[in-house]
Copies of this chain bind each other. A is one copy, B any other.
Amino acid sequence: MELADRTAGWVLAETQAGRLKQGDYLDACLDRIAAREPEVKAWVCLDAEAARTAAGASAGLLAGMPLGVKDVFDTLDWPTSYGSPLYAGHRPGQDAAAVALARAAGCVLPGKTVTTEFAYFHPGPTANPHNTDHTPGGSSSGSAAAVGAGMVPFALGTQTAGSVIRPAAFCGVVGYKPTFGTIATFGVKQFAWSLDTVGVFARDLADAALLAEVLSGLLLRPSGETGSPRIGLYKAALWSSPSEAMAVTLEKVAAVAEAAGAQVTEVILPDVCASLFEDQKLIMAYEGARSLAHERRGKREALSTPLLELTDAGARVDPNDYLQARARSRQARAALAALFQDVDVLLTPSAPGAAPRGLAATGDPAFNRAWTLLGQPCVTLPAGRDPSGLPLGVQLVGGFDDDARLLAAAAWLERVLAA
């Protein structure tokens, strides 16, 4: 395996054991960026020398580790343009909290990664590292593609609908969206305050948990000694249909897990969940119209048509419909809490299938909207390929604030799938 494709955990262990020279891994990542960036286009700005300089001065648990940061996170030293021409060259003057926490642990930023416009659907130039004719997914396009291409071991993203889990699955990496409110959102361009969640990308579950620990302060790294989980298999017919390859992969993963000792039960969601998909869209539009009030006021010509359409619709939403959607999501959260008495995690598709062809759209977050609305923690794990050779991901969903249990189950499943 090439050095750039190693995990942060492996690199840290080898460095500590004296078998790897400090800086060699960063060099390998920067070489990989130089080699693949022309076709993958994961970065909106980039400076290899700045990363080497920062690494020389870094200290901490993750000293010198390169980190991809989606360009909706404010940064002191890099321009932050939120994927919008309105903010070309914008200098916010401070680091987002998550960036500051990562830097305090020693991470260095080779630059910023491509985001769709304000983390909504209008895409940037990024291509899928596994097949550059296909989308990497969005909105955290560059972060997912950079990890998928071996440019960085991990990266920061955000999810309002499906912007961590979907691109991670499309790019063949691990994605982790923690419980809502786990990682500080300060300095992240807001889209919908009830939904926006900071998440991480990595090449394995342990790296994702390690970075999330640094950001959240929680104890998230699985000990590796947990037993086989109770899995609720949810085929997600309520919101969308998986592709045939996805459906087959889901069944296969469930069978492998059961064979390895997991208790697998097919579950259906309580009736109160029926409207979650539409409720998420309504809340996202209502709040987006208000979070982006500054841009919608007199700068409309610089916004994409899809963003204008969504936020204009959001401004017209009947506020009582918004309150009712909020009330239903509270009821559904309570109902889900009861369901998670019987299972540790749900197993469900991360996306309808593999990354669609073309770079004009970022794919469908149908399998993510409800979990984001409910605030449940989610992990996507790579789980094979579709017939065209593109990665498929399966999603594990945990109970609210029960992230450690979710990550333990995900680590277990990752081991089982690797065996």
With CB as the reference atom, state the residue of chain B lying closest to A194. B181
Are the CB atoms of B334 and A293 closer together than 8 Å? Answer: no
Residue in B104, B287, B291 whose CB lies within 8 Å of A293: B104
Q: How far is the CA of A203 from the CA of B129 in the complex (A)?
A: 59
A interface residues with partner B (beta carbon < 8 Å): 76, 87, 90-97, 99-101, 103-104, 181, 183-187, 189-190, 193-194, 215-219, 286-287, 289-294, 296-297, 315, 317, 319-320, 322-323, 326-327, 334, 401
Q: How far is the CA of A287 from the CA of B181 in the complex (A)?
A: 10
* Inter-chain contacts of A290 with B (CB < 8 A): 97, 101, 183-184, 215-217
Are the CB atoms of B91 and A93 closer together than 8 Å? Answer: yes
Are the CB atoms of A193 and B218 closer together than 8 Å? Answer: no
With CB as the reference atom, state the residue of chain B lying closest to A324. B401
* Inter-chain contacts of A297 with B (CB < 8 A): 100, 103-104
* Known pairs A90-B93, A95-B294, A218-B323 / 18 extra A-B pairs, C-beta < 8 Å: A93-B93, A94-B294, A97-B291, A97-B294, A99-B294, A100-B294, A100-B297, A101-B293, A104-B297, A184-B287, A185-B193, A186-B189, A215-B290, A217-B290, A217-B315, A217-B317, A217-B319, A219-B320
Q: A181-B193, A217-B286 are in contact. Are A186 and B101 (CB under 8 A)?
A: no
* Inter-chain contacts of A187 with B (CB < 8 A): 190, 294
With CB as the reference atom, state the residue of chain B lying closest to A404. B323
Q: A93-B92, A193-B181 are in contact. Are A291 and B323 (CB under 8 A)?
A: no
* Inter-chain contacts of A90 with B (CB < 8 A): 93
Q: How far is the CA of A218 from the CA of B90 in the complex (A)?
A: 32
* Inter-chain contacts of A183 with B (CB < 8 A): 290
* Inter-chain contacts of A104 with B (CB < 8 A): 293, 297
Q: How far is the CA of A100 from the CA of B183 in the complex (A)?
A: 26
* Inter-chain contacts of A185 with B (CB < 8 A): 190, 193
Are the CB atoms of B319 and A219 closer together than 8 Å? Answer: yes
* Inter-chain contacts of A326 with B (CB < 8 A): 181, 401
Q: How far is the CA of A190 from the CA of B87 in the complex (A)?
A: 22
Q: How far is the CB of A132 from chain B (nearest CB, A)?
A: 34
Q: How far is the CB of A312 from chain B (nearest CB, A)?
A: 13
Q: How far is the CB of A354 from chain B (nearest CB, A)?
A: 34
Residue in B95, B100, B101, B190 whose CB lies within 8 Å of A184: B190
Interface CB pairs A-B, < 8 A, 6 = A91-B93, A96-B294, A104-B297, A181-B193, A184-B293, A217-B289
